[in-house]
A = this chain, B = another copy of it.
Amino acid sequence: MLDIFNEIRDDLQAVEDELAKVVRHENPLLNETSSHLLNAGGKRLRPAFALLSGKFYNYQLKSVLPLAVALELIHMATLVHDDVVDSALTRRGKPTVKAKWGNRISMHTGDLLFAKSLLMISKYEDKPLVSKVLSKTSVKMCEGEIQQISSAYKSDQSIKDYLYRVQRKTALLIAASCQLGAVVCGAPREIYMRLRRYGYQIGIAFQVIDDILDMTADQVKLGKPIGGDLRQGIITLPVIFALKNSSNRELLVKLVEKRDKTEEEVRKAIELIRDCGGIKYSNNVVDRYINKAKKELENLPDIPAKRILVKIADFVKYRSF
């Protein structure tokens, strides 16, 4: 668990226990894949956002718990499915479900986790906004994934194209986590929409940082090989900036569009991107989103949860893995 979550340690533990209960299964194979996923960890960022947002109005753990579990299940489901299609062999330094059990089991494990999230969500009969927001979010998340595939290895992309994908891949689920954490505690629209906007900005920043780290991080800390996005043809913000601003634009286009790049070609592409300021530019974009996120919090009551949300914003900015 991240240190900044100390104040919600017990409630996050309750989420963890409930997650373990939900993924337990009579089919031994399924039990194994799901537990493997659970034990592979993760920051439990989405449950934490839901819990913290709930604190802004009549917080009760039992109101937020099914939501928090559902959010992590949705997130885990997308990770397993990403692994299927990306042929990724490790995630967070551990072998993926796909690497251990193959595509067929991975896909159905993802489907099952997603279906179980629906089971949790269906408990909120008196809060129809929960299923409305999460079903819309799920549709958009799928659209983002497909857009990412359609646009792979294409060097003529705009920042707008990038933001479209980042919004769908990451920001909308974090926005939903913040919004719905407040919604399930009965918060009024004014509060939950502010939290939603906070989550949205943080989500964009989080993904941009992720894309930066994919080129700059310590491979061991990151738990996966550097340059993975470039290898898969995913065009991220530093690349888009560099494709416009690099003095060696032609070579970069060639490298970016090339399939099955060698280690040397990946290294060279990253060098070109860094040298023309692609990383620095992207870090500035992160700053802007982090500041916008913090600004959304200004008009919310000054409770401990708010200070943690501010800290999370800073953590996102300075994280190195």
Contacts and interface: CB of A to CB of B under 8 A. Distances in A.
A147 interface: yes
Given A135-B118, A139-B119, A85 B112 contact: no
Interface stretch (A103-111, A200-208, A292-300): A103-111
A308 B314 CA distance: 64
Interface string A116-131: 1011011001001001
Contact of A139 (B27, B81, B105, B112): B112
A150 B84 CA distance: 18
Contact of A118 (B105, B118, B119, B149): B118
B111 A122 contact: no
What is the oligomeric copy number? 2
Contacts of A286: none
Given A131-B131, A138-B118, A111 B145 contact: yes
A30 B146 contact: yes
A2 interface: no
A115 interface: yes
A143 interface: yes
A311 interface: no
A136 interface: yes
Interface residues of A, number: 40
B104 A149 contact: yes
B30 A112 contact: no
Contact of A122 (B112, B132, B147): B132
A139 B122 contact: no
A230 interface: no
Contacts of A108: 81, 85, 142, 145-146, 149
Interface string A138-177: 1101110111011000000000000000000000000000
Contact of A142 (B85, B112, B128, B138): B112
Given A103-B103, A142-B115, A125 B128 contact: yes
A29 interface: yes
Nearest to A84: B107
A131 B122 contact: yes
Interface in A28-44: 28-30
A132 to B, nearest CB: 5
A25 B143 CA distance: 9
Nearest to A144: B108
Given A29-B150, A118-B139, 5 more contacts: A27-B146, A111-B145, A112-B143, A118-B118, A121-B135
17 contacts: A27-B147, A28-B150, A29-B150, A30-B146, A81-B107, A81-B111, A84-B103, A84-B104, A111-B114, A111-B138, A112-B142, A115-B141, A115-B142, A118-B131, A118-B135, A118-B139, A121-B135
